[in-house]
A and B are shown apart, each in its own frame.
Chain A
Amino acid sequence: MKTGVWLHGDSLSKRDPALRKHPGGGSVFVFDRPFLEKAGLSFKRIFFLYECAVEVAEEMRMGETVEEVVEWMREQGLGRLAVTESPSPRWRETVERLRQKVEVEVVPAEELVEVPEGYRVKRFTPFWKDLGREWV
């Protein structure tokens, strides 16, 4: 069963970890109409995203993300979806809704340093002292 990749705004190139793991199943980027109508971003931002997406995504769509991704998977005959992880609450909510309809694999994002589970600090200085040793 082929795995398609949903590319989103945090991970919009062939460097995308989900795409590197599943290079053969195709990829889609969605301009999320409800979000964009509400956010009122500048056109420059949207065109920048377009220029990133047009280089890498096999298909670009516009509409409600879950509906568009599921429709794209149906059209392409894809059984599974992979996506790179994001800390965004909107991303988490979208993945939860996708999981109600299709099988979703979340691939870890590329990180500069590994942050241990449960690690908590409120300021950058201790964060970098604890975790940035490779980069000093």
Chain B
Amino acid sequence: MIVQKFTGSREEQARGLAKRMVGMYCEKIEEARESAYVGGRKAGLEALEGFRVQGYADTRNKLNGNVSRLSFYVRHGVLGIREVAESVRERFGKSYDAAKFWQELGWRQFWRHLYGLWGDGIYEDREAAKVLLGSGAEEELPAEIAEGRTGLVCMDETVRELVGTGYIHNHARMWFASFVVHFQKLGWRAGERFFYRHLLDGDPASNALSWQWVASTFSHRAYLFNQENIQENGGKEWCARCTAKCPFDATYPELERRLFSK
């Protein structure tokens, strides 16, 4: 069955496609909208040309740091992984920043390599967990988490950005995953499904194995964060607006004791 090319603005094209593909996406039709991030090679090349690698290594962990936002173009082969790496080399040469950026592309290649070896085995625990985890029986995240209604501003805003744009910063992904798996004791598979559904760069291997990295079923230790880490890398704006009793306001030894004691 042929799908026609829709005409008009992005919004009009999105409306046309949403009508054509009813039943094939998770939102209600009236809530189906385009992302602010534009698909296609023309947009991908513009994003690549606009990216400057200077400062990448030291700022990439900050929510407002100099990250590339090229992941969705690389994920879908809109930009070639080697093409992106070579563009940085040709424009900026070799440097500490460039090497860090290439290393992050290397992670993508690593996940791809493991996906080729393990196939759907990426959805099974790769190793025994190093800490106490929940049963992992949940199919989906609880509605208050998936709909951004926990009352924890940092987590709710992360969900709103993910669902609203199809993209969140890598550090926000790690915080949210750690919140789901370690603070809420929910299974990583439920979180993995949620991210895969919404991330424009959602890649089976990168997503599933990163969740396992946080959970400690594919890493030497579990990933934890605390309020100080959020404020250092995300600023204090979320905390200033938050009235909830903060579960993250503790030192790491305290959190480990609270979350991982059997």
Contact = CB atoms under 8 A, between A and B. Distances in A.
A135 B81 CA distance: 12
Contact of B72 (A42, A48, A54, A59): A48
Most buried by A among B14, B24, B205: B24
A87 B205 contact: yes
Contacts of B44: 13
Given A54-B5, A111-B82, A45 B40 contact: no
Taking residues whose C-beta sits less than 8 angstroms from the other chain, chain A's interface range is 35 or more
A89 B81 contact: no
Most buried by B among A40, A45, A63: A45
Interface string A44-62: 1111111110111001111
B143 to A, nearest CB: 15
Interface in A39-84: 39-52, 54-56, 59-63, 68, 84
A88 B196 CA distance: 15
Contact of A60 (B5, B34, B120, B204): B5
A23 interface: no
A112 B105 contact: yes
A128 B197 contact: no
Contacts of B38: 51
B78 interface: yes
B33 A44 contact: yes
B252 interface: no
A93 B103 CA distance: 31
B198 A132 contact: no
A132 B1 contact: no
A37 B17 CA distance: 15
A71 to B, nearest CB: 9
Q: Which of B13, B33, B41, B120 has the most CB of A within 10 A?
A: B41
A9 B76 contact: yes
Interface in A92-136: 92, 109-113, 115, 119-120, 122, 124, 127-128, 132, 135-136
Contact of A10 (B32, B77, B102, B199): B77
A52 B78 contact: yes
A31 B21 contact: yes
Given A14-B41, A43-B14, A48 B200 contact: yes
Contacts of B137: none
B18 interface: yes
A21 interface: no
Given A49-B76, A122-B126, 19 more contacts: A10-B77, A12-B78, A15-B83, A33-B24, A42-B27, A43-B33, A44-B198, A45-B199, A50-B13, A110-B80, A111-B82, A111-B109, A112-B108, A113-B109, A115-B109, A132-B103, A135-B102, A135-B105, A136-B99
7 contacts: A12-B77, A13-B79, A31-B24, A42-B27, A111-B81, A113-B109, A128-B106
